[in-house]
Structure 1
Amino acid sequence: MTQTLPDTELPNPLDPEETMSRDEIESLQLARLQETIAYAYDRVPLYKEKYDAAGVHPSDLKELADLAKFPFTEKEDLRKTYPFGMFAVPQQQVARIHASSGTTGRATVVGYTQSDLDDWAKLGARCLRLSGVKPGWKVHNAYGYGLFTGGLGAHAAAERLGTTVIPMSGGQTEKQITLIQDFAPDAILCTPTYLLTIGDAMQRQGIDPRSTSLKVAVLGAEPWTEEMRHELEVMFDLDACDIYGLSEVMGPGVAGESNQTKDGSHIWEDHFRPEIIDAFDPSQTMPDGQHGELVFTSLTKQALPIIRYRTHDLTRLLPGTARPGHRRMGRITGRSDDMIILRGVNLFPSQIEELALKVAGLSPHFQLEITRPDRMDQLAVKIERRDDCTTDRAEAAGLELQKLIKIHVGSSCRIDVVDPESLPRSVGKLRRIYDLREK
């Protein structure tokens, strides 16, 4: 793997908050939390309605544990107040607006003051620096630009760090390859499945991805496994690190992973207070180390303060390592709203990815199809064989994967091993689940 300088040798120093102790961070969190909840209650009608209905008031927050007294915020709240009902500042103070695609309903709209944008760029730069990206490097940004927060969020972070940004955006894979070869970037920013798509396309052209100038890949916007990290690092001979964020909380840069430890993303807790709740009983807050659904409260946002926002991402909180005062997120195992309940068994696409990459001859390219041919749901896993895997070997590999899924997940399914290049490729976030049941 690429050798990188420790943070102490980087030209620009760490933010003072990055080196705070745990006690210092929690003291700062409490002060900022009290201010944020009062600010949201006074300025956003939905919060006042929710808190009054629940019988809680901002003055009830005396210690960090009191946050659990306050109601959750859901994506549906943002849809219900569409477009600008959750904004806490007048329109003339909103410097930028982003929005989700709205493919599963009305779009969720988020806004930023100039101070919010400055914080976003600062935290994103922290993430890139933690992952090994250095000032002066060339950074190829293949996140999509536009209303999606990925492209512009990563762009501002890279500029704040002091890199030269190549704003390629997503798609046009052949052009991506040309620019990577011609411009010789040191780092790439995109989703993990899209980096895999780029690598596959390079190999089809006879280009060895390991021959490129890329040293670091900062990957996010979708869950991915340690097995996928290994696949990409071997394919490109680089360090692959995670970055976490979502539009409603801020965008990419809420948490970032160290290339020195590669043990999960450190949450910037001077700006966000994370919680883990029981995904099946949200009233229960889980202790650190226990798996559940991730919930975020913003501590400094002006345009769109977000209180106890349910992300539906499933993970756990762990002690900090590369940044000891800031807790880490364990790798996201999936989303509670992406969970497949198959004949009483809970299953996530990331579980299939983890098992598939343990089987020789099978590639990371797969999709899940759910059907109901009779009264029972059926799952089919369509997965590509690798180029060097013959049809006969592919049949045996499929049976091996079927057995692993039965053992480790506890559900039976059909495995269809298909030819290379026969499944859709990622140009951003990849769709894994196809629900073909009649509604």
Structure 2
Amino acid sequence: MNYHDAREIRPPAERERELLAALPVQIAHARAHAPAFGELLRDVEPLAVTSREALAKLPVIRKSELAALQRRDRPFGGLATVGWGKGCARVFASPGPIYEPEGARKDYWRLARAFYAAGFRAGDLVHNTFSYHFTPAGSMMETAAHALGCTVFPAGVGQTEMQVAAIADLQPDGYAGTPSFLRIILDKADELGVRVASLQKAFVSGEAFPPSQRDALAARGIQAYQAYATADLGLIAYETPARDGLVLDEDVLVEIVYPGTGDPVAPGEVGEVVVTSFSPEYPLIRFGTGDLSAQLPGISPCGRTNMRIKGWLGRADQTTKVKGMFVHPGQVAAVLKRHPELGRGRLVVDNPAQTDRMTLHCEAAAPANELAEAIAASLRELTKLRGEVRFCTPGSLPNDGKLIEDLRSYE
């Protein structure tokens, strides 16, 4: 079979039923065993959350909030159900610092599915160059490879000449790491005149992987595939041989919402990726990643039937400071929501004559002076700053998820 398991090709309606049936159980578990969720979801009846519409009414916990939460309630901000000992095999740190638990379950981060789609199989030797200290990336890859029956060489980062020597000696089947470090290793091998032809596949993550890099590796006989994963959630989505977007993991429920809000966007619109995890150890409910993406229509040509997203399209947190006051995407979204006559909107901040200026560009089919005045009043009320309003034709603003664009120049 060309799939990790039959779940990847089941009817979409069956998958949706299973995810929604698991929601009340996970919410009840988080409320009962994770103190922060106990407080946050205190007034939520878990048995009532059986649809995406009901889920969308719950608050979003954003990654940007984790460091502050963890300072108040160590080590995991009251969002985890485990502590030291049973259920928590390791703890890692990401910049912030933000601390993440790793459960003791096999393939805790669920990356084996993505490894399989990238061509890795039992009996392969994987040259893993992700870091093994502080951040979880090395362990994320190793536990996935082990779940597939692979052997792992824990290369870690740096020491390029030693990396080349190990590849030449051990003849690994595949590479795991960032695409840029793979390129560095290949260039060093060329410089040293060392053959590393055993590398025929690669699993890359952690940075952008444009088609030009993919094609350059393919020209050297290396088929490389990328995945979208985080230290908090594990696997979110992964690339398949179809090379057509990223297919969602089977064990997460993903929403795309307007940046700064919890309101889902229309299918195809760019918004923030919000994920509900079904991890018993770290049951993140409506976790805002801060990343922008968009849903792709239909199912993947590879036959996997889960929803697909375009991949990483930028950051959702476009908060900026204007005249000494912070302006948030959620405030701009709230202005647009007040006026249903509007389509997309974007707050453009510039500084002619070195003075900050805000202009809300709004799509409107029937613009009028009265509407402009009402929008300006809403903008002033919600941001505490004065701004201009400029109308544009429906469909003219780009579908890129930006609610705030900072064009200021300080030259």
**TM-score, normalization by structure 2:** 0.71
Q: CA deviation at 1:231?
A: 2.9
Q: What corresponds to 1:383 in structure 2?
A: none
**Structure 1 residues 320 and 290, CA, compared in 2 at 3 Å: closer, same or farther?**
same
Q: Deviations over 1:26-68 (max 9, x none)?
A: 011011111111111122221232234xx54323313122111
Q: What corresponds to 2:80 in structure 1?
A: 87
**Structure 1 residues 225 and 237, CA, compared in 2 at 3 Å: closer, same or farther?**
same
Q: What corresponds to 1:264 in structure 2?
A: 245
Matched, 1:194 2:181: yes
Amino acid at match of 1:222: E
Match of 2:15 among 17, 25, 28: 25
**Structure 1 residues 173 and 47, CA, compared in 2 at 3 Å: closer, same or farther?**
same
SS in 1 for 2:126: strand
> Whole-Å Cα distance in 1 between the matches of residues 141 and 355 of structure 2?
44
Contact 2:123–2:151 (CA under 8 A) maintained in structure 1: yes
> Whole-Å Cα distance in 2 between the matches of residues 339 and 327 of structure 1?
29
SS in 2 for 1:46: helix
Please, which moves more after superposition, 211-220 or 14-23?
14-23
> Whole-Å Cα distance in 1 between the matches of residues 208 and 314 of structure 2?
6
- The number of residue pairs the alignment matches comes to 322
Contact 1:257–1:266 (CA under 8 A) maintained in structure 2: yes
> Whole-Å Cα distance in 1 between the matches of residues 44 and 88 of structure 2?
32
Match of 1:68 among 56, 71, 75: 56
Q: Deviations over 1:219-244 (max 9, x none)?
A: 0012332222223333x321110122
Contact 2:271–2:316 (CA under 8 A) maintained in structure 1: no
> Whole-Å Cα distance in 2 between the matches of residues 163 and 325 of structure 1?
27
Q: CA deviation at 1:199?
A: 2.4
Q: What corresponds to 1:124 in structure 2?
A: 111
Unaligned runs of 5+ in 2: 322-350, 357-397, 399-409
Q: What corresponds to 1:179 in structure 2?
A: 166
Q: CA deviation at 1:207?
A: 4.7
> Whole-Å Cα distance in 2 between the matches of residues 93 and 201 of structure 1?
44
Contact 1:224–1:332 (CA under 8 A) maintained in structure 2: no
> Whole-Å Cα distance in 2 between the matches of residues 295 and 219 of structure 1?
22
Q: CA deviation at 1:294?
A: 0.9
Q: What corresponds to 2:217 in structure 1?
A: 232
SS in 2 for 1:100: strand
> Whole-Å Cα distance in 1 between the matches of residues 317 and 192 of structure 2?
38
Contact 1:219–1:243 (CA under 8 A) maintained in structure 2: yes
> Whole-Å Cα distance in 2 between the matches of residues 125 and 335 of structure 1?
27
**Structure 1 residues 47 and 88, CA, compared in 2 at 3 Å: closer, same or farther?**
same
> Whole-Å Cα distance in 2 between the matches of residues 254 and 74 of structure 1?
16
> Whole-Å Cα distance in 1 between the matches of residues 190 and 318 of structure 2?
32
Percent of residue pairs identical? 28
Q: What corresponds to 1:214 in structure 2?
A: 199
Q: What corresponds to 1:150 in structure 2?
A: 137
SS in 2 for 1:25: helix
Amino acid at match of 1:244: Y
Q: What corresponds to 2:35 in structure 1?
A: 45
Matched, 1:327 2:307: yes
Amino acid at match of 2:299: G
Q: What corresponds to 1:275 in structure 2?
A: 255
> Whole-Å Cα distance in 2 between the matches of residues 266 and 313 of structure 1?
16
Q: What corresponds to 1:316 in structure 2?
A: 294
Unaligned runs of 5+ in 1: 1-6, 342-371, 378-408, 410-436
> Whole-Å Cα distance in 2 between the matches of residues 138 and 274 of structure 1?
33
Amino acid at match of 2:152: V
> Whole-Å Cα distance in 1 between the matches of residues 170 and 320 of structure 2?
42
The alignment yields a C-alpha RMSD, in angstroms, of: 2.9
**Structure 1 residues 340 and 100, CA, compared in 2 at 3 Å: closer, same or farther?**
farther
**Structure 1 residues 331 and 282, CA, compared in 2 at 3 Å: closer, same or farther?**
same
Q: What corresponds to 1:428 in structure 2?
A: none
Q: CA deviation at 1:72?
A: 0.7
> Whole-Å Cα distance in 1 between the matches of residues 198 and 319 of structure 2?
38
> Whole-Å Cα distance in 2 between the matches of residues 164 and 113 of structure 1?
21
Q: CA deviation at 1:338?
A: 8.6
> Whole-Å Cα distance in 2 between the matches of residues 99 and 176 of structure 1?
24
Q: CA deviation at 1:184?
A: 1.1
SS in 2 for 1:255: strand
SS in 1 for 2:230: coil
Amino acid at match of 2:12: R
**TM-score, normalization by structure 1:** 0.67
